[in-house]
Amino acid sequence: MGTTRKPLAQGASGWVVNNLVLLGLLFLVVFFSLRNPLFFSVGNVRSILRQLAPIGIYSFPVALLLISRSIDLSLGAVVGLSSVVGIEVMNAAGLAAGLAAFLGVGLAAGALNGLLVSYARLNPIIVTLGTQIVFRGLSLSVSGGKAGVPPALFLKVFRLEVLGFRPEVFLMIIVLALCWWLLHASRVGRSLYAAGENARVAFLMGVNVRRLQFLMHCAVGLTGGVVALVSVSKLGLSGGGIGESMTLPVIIAVLLGGIDFGGGVGRIPGVIVGVFFMGVLEAGLLILGVTEFVQQVIVGAVLIAAIYTSTLRRRRLRPS
């Protein structure tokens, strides 16, 4: 009898540990709905999706990068630099050239991070903290510290609504589908898990770990350009500080989604839950009128909780 109850108890506790974030998301939805009946309205759900779209667009490729055992802490600075250069080029040379500049700057920033991490073999945390400073300095140099105003055609295109949703929601779905396929239905996904689990063993299996991490950094940088497009269309202006508050929510969403700093662990469905957790949390705090300072305290607490739950999962997967 006791032996039967013990596995059941262990199974129940294991399920709770593996689904803490999902349970937390359900709690947030119920709590904010009780505090404000309009929270779960159709209009507010659309607003939440628009608000979490930039985090979602960024989180899915960042999840792949962490699985390969690397990280990028220059996410917000890449968005700022891409927005500044993109709008400058767009106002000077037209919409198409500006769009190419947005994506090209993001890709170049990601490639620089990838070269330094993968081929120069530098610590990704230190390197991307350094490039973050570099990118912000470049943003200020290009913009002169002034906000750029996008042309009317750009705003018209990126604020066009289809079925009540703006382009950023559809872009998030496209990025989600692509990352899901890469991780769970392609050879790339197996290589990412192998590289994150043990780079030496992955190399012996024929995986070019350096090239793989380099390409993942490039993908994250390119996505930064996409996020810059979305952010500029949302705010109606560009600036070096446009993405300053984005790095932490993205990292928290990925960690909440079950991706581990140690690499080799995690799945896209978990990241979806993490993204929605952060989106619902931010929207709920705004609706309740919570001050910015208190929001920072809550976000910091969520970060600590994300690291703790990540540690619990890894202990269950690797008891030794």
Look at residue 289 and give its three-state secondary structure: coil
- Annotate 213-238 with DSSP letters as a single string: HHHHHHHHHHHHHHHHHHHHHHHSSB
Q: What is the pLDDT of residues 157-189, one digit of tens each?
A: 888 888 888 899 999 999 999 999 999 999 999
What six digits make up the tokens of 45? 């759900």
Residue 4 clears pLDDT 60, i.e. is over it: no
Higher pLDDT, 18 or 90: 90
Domains of the chain: 45-315 (1.10.3470)
Quote the CA–CA distance of 307 and 8 in Å, as a whole number: 27
Mean pLDDT of the chain: 87
CB contact set of 188 (below 8 Å; sequence gap of 6+): 182, 212
Higher pLDDT, 133 or 146: 133
Q: What is the pLDDT of residues 245-295, one digit of tens each?
A: 889 899 989 988 888 888 888 899 999 999 999 888 888 888 888 888 888
Question: Degrees (nearest 5) of the Cα angle 83, 297, 240?
Answer: 15
Percent of the chain with pLDDT over 90: 48
Q: What is the pLDDT of residues 41-50, one digit of tens each?
A: 788 888 888 8
> Which alpha helices (DSSP H) does 159-291 contain, by range?
167-184, 187-197, 199-204, 209-235, 247-256, 268-287
Residue 117 pLDDT = 95
Residue 72 pLDDT = 94
Confidence band, pLDDT 50/70/90 cuts, at residue 318: low
Residue 82 pLDDT = 95
Tokens 């994150």, residue located: 196
Residue 320 pLDDT = 46
Residue 198 clears pLDDT 90, i.e. is over it: no
Lowest mean pLDDT among 31-40, 131-140, 212-221: 31-40
Residue 113 clears pLDDT 60, i.e. is over it: yes
